[in-house]
């Protein structure tokens, strides 16, 4: 006969057995619930019980501690079997025990070949029909939305996440019943969207519910379609088909008091074709936009290394800039645009293709020979030289700008017009600036040849003199502005001056009207030549606009 265990040994055994039995039962229940076939059945039953959709999937791994691996996911509307969502693989990985040290994160959320179906039938969406509606009681009080959510006392977390979406597709279809009973169908498909997103937050004990939520992130990385273009197919008018390159990269990282930032974008529509419904031929927009910028933390400098706009491999715009002391109110900027040439023919073709106008209504060329900016925000120097050649606009007649030239220099204070930019504490707006903006503005070489008329002149704006303009006019056909009242060719010189308030406008000039005719009481005058020499003031701040003529000489002959 075996002797009984001593009392101390029996007591120790009970301490092991009694807590061990509940833990063993919990372990068995955990293993049973998260056994892949059982967990799969649970998800299917929950989807069926709580929504109007059916779910089919194949669970390969399920773990509360480490995550899930699921393939062949299909979500269908139960009423008609219409697809709602599909994915070849959903892989979710985490490490739950890290919560014990205040770290919560998704090691990887990988969606492979996900397809989202959006269907609209006379304003009713497919997704809204699968969730039971809940009517809000009339006497239910409005709930105040808190500014932030506080975590339980003593709990502080740091969250990290890694999201990867591979070959995402969005399929949109709409059905609209017209008054005659016919159903109009439309669709838009976007395929081959790839996204990589990574984020790490700083340690926090509350979650703000506004834009300050972004301040929680120490590291944030986004890469959209870095390698392959997006496939686009729309059945709307205009019809768009083809490949759109839309690569975007963003990197932001805080290391102590230092911030690192970089971003690049490459958007290229050369692979797209736009066509209006019923038209035989389409149009390839062939526009490309590119930028590359970064933040130099040691120098506190934002580097805009390149901003480009291209059309059919022709560089239209190219500029680069730096912003020094960007994190302080004493920031300053230097911007330079390379000589650029913009052809409006391409823009005219694009708009004509989109509107179905058929005929190009805009053509010609705009040259930006110089554009430079440098200085602080409150004293920014601007130098520009812009020219245009053979601009033609069609709409309400044909407007032909055979030549245009603007040579410009200005000194500006932009703080009053940039409310989001904080000025230095010592900054005080200069009340004497013209329009609250200009220390000075000069356009010494202004030239315009419009429909065979020529205008040459100069414009200046200063706080002391307000606005001053001197214009020489040659061969201006005024019939194009009011043909039912007057016609003839105008030549001469006109000088305008006005305070910056534009309360009054002083005009002085010597103008000649050649071969003029005008309408009087339904009668048309004969051809006449008139010469007008005048000085006058137009008062614009009075209840009724008043004209004061200081000097007027009018000579005419038939």
Mean pLDDT by 10 residues, the chain (558 residues): 55 61 71 82 90 92 87 92 94 81 78 94 86 63 68 72 93 88 88 92 76 76 90 83 92 81 91 77 82 90 92 86 87 91 79 64 86 93 93 77 92 87 84 85 91 89 87 83 72 86 80 76 70 79 70 67
CA separation for the pair 133, 209 (Å, rounded):
26
Same domain, residue pair 345 and 463? no
> What pLDDT, on the 0 to 100 scale, is given for residue 1?
47
Count the alpha carbons within 13 Å of 64 in the hemisphere toward its beta carbon. Answer: 10
Which conformational region is residue 44 in: left (phi greater than 0), alpha (psi within -120 to 50 degrees), or beta? alpha
- Tracing tokens 């005719």 back to the chain, one arrives at 517
Same domain, residue pair 487 and 347? no
Alpha helices in 307-389 (DSSP H): 344-355
Q: Give the pair of three-digit tokens for residue 353.
A: 């293709």
- Domain termination residue (choose one: 397, 418, 439): 418
> Does residue 4 sit within a domain?
no
> Does residue 349 sit within a domain?
yes
Alpha helices in 240-303 (DSSP H): none
Question: Who contacts 525 (Cβ-Cβ below 8 Å, separation ≥6)?
Answer: 517, 518, 519
Same domain, residue pair 244 and 203? no
Same domain, residue pair 202 and 284? no
Same domain, residue pair 352 and 468? no
CA separation for the pair 304, 317 (Å, rounded):
14
Same domain, residue pair 334 and 483? no
> Does residue 294 sit within a domain?
yes
> Does residue 229 sit within a domain?
no
> Does residue 444 sit within a domain?
no
Same domain, residue pair 209 and 277? no
The reported pTM is 0.75
> Does residue 150 sit within a domain?
no
Same domain, residue pair 103 and 218? yes
CA distances from 511 to 138, 234, 489 (A): 74, 58, 10
> Does residue 440 sit within a domain?
no
Neighbours of 350 (CB within 10 A): 20
Neighbours of 147 (CB within 10 A): 10
CA separation for the pair 250, 2 (Å, rounded):
75
Show the domain range for 477. 450-558
Same domain, residue pair 218 and 306? no
On whether the CB atoms of residues 365 and 348 are closer than 8 A, the answer is no
Same domain, residue pair 401 and 319? yes
Same domain, residue pair 42 and 162? yes
**Tally of domains in the chain:** 3
| Radius of gyration of the chain from its Cα atoms, rounded to whole angstroms | 36
Paired strand residues for 362? 393
Same domain, residue pair 460 and 391? no
> Does residue 434 sit within a domain?
no
């Amino acid at each position: 006969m075996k002797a009984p265990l001593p009392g101390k040994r029996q007591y120790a055994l009970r301490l092991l057995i009694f807590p061990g039995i509940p833990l063993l039962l919990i372990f068995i229940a955990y293993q049973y619930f998260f056994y892949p076939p059982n967990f799969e059945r649970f998800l299917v039953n929950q989807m069926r019980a709580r929504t109007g959709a059916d779910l089919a999937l194949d669970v390969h791994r399920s773990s509360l501690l480490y995550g899930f691996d699921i393939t062949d996911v299909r979500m269908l509307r139960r009423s008609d079997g219409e697809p709602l969502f599909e994915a070849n693989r959903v892989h979710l990985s985490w490490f739950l025990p890290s919560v014990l040290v205040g770290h919560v994160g998704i090691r990887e959320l990988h969606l492979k070949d996900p397809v989202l179906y959006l269907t609209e039938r006379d304003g009713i969406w497919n997704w809204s029909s699968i969730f039971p509606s809940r009517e809000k009681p009339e006497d239910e009080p409005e709930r105040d939305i808190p500014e932030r959510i506080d975590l339980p006392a003593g709990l502080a977390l740091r969250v990290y996440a890694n999201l990867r979406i591979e070959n995402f597709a969005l399929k949109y279809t709409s059905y609209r019943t017209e008054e005659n009973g016919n159903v109009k169908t439309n669709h838009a498909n976007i395929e081959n969207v790839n996204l990589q997103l990574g984020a790490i937050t700083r340690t926090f004990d509350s979650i703000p519910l506004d834009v300050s939520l972004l301040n929680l992130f120490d590291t944030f990385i986004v890469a959209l379609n870095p390698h392959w273009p997006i496939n686009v197919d729309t059945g709307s008018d205009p019809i768009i088909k083809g490949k759109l390159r839309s690569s975007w990269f963003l990197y932001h990282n805080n290391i102590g008091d230092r911030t690192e930032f970089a971003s690049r974008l490459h958007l290229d529509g050369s692979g797209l074709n736009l066509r209006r419904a019923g038209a035989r031929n389409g149009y390839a927009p062939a526009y490309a936009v590119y930028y590359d910028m970064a933040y130099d933390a040691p120098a506190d400098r934002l580097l805009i290394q390149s901003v480009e706009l291209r059309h059919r491999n022709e560089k239209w715009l190219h500029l680069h800039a730096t912003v020094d002391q960007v994190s302080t109110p004493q920031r300053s900027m230097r911007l330079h645009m390379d000589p650029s040439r913009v052809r409006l023919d391409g823009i005219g073709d694009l708009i004509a293709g989109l509107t179905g106008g058929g005929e190009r209504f805009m053509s010609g060329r705009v040259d930006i020979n110089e554009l430079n900016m440098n200085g602080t925000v409150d004293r920014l120097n601007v130098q520009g030289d812009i020219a245009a050649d053979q601009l033609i606009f069609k709409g309400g007649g044909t407007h032909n700008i055979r030549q245009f030239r603007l040579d410009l220099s200005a000194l500006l204070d932009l703080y009053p017009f940039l409310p989001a930019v904080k000025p230095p504490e010592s900054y005080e707006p200069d009340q004497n600036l013209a329009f609250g903006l200009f220390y000075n503005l000069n356009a010494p070489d202004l030239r315009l040849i419009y429909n065979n008329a020529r205008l040459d002149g100069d414009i200046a704006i200063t706080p002391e003199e307000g606005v001053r303009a001197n214009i020489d006019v040659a061969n201006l056909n005024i019939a194009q502005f009011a043909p039912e009242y007057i016609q003839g060719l105008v030549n001469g010189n006109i000088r305008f001056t006005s305070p910056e308030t534009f309360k009054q406008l002083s005009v002085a000039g010597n103008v000649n009207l050649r071969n003029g005719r005008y309408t009087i009481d339904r009668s048309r005058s004969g051809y006449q030549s008139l010469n007008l020499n005048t000085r006058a003031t137009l008062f614009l701040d009075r209840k009724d606009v008043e004209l004061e003529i200081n000097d007027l000489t009018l000579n005419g002959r038939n």
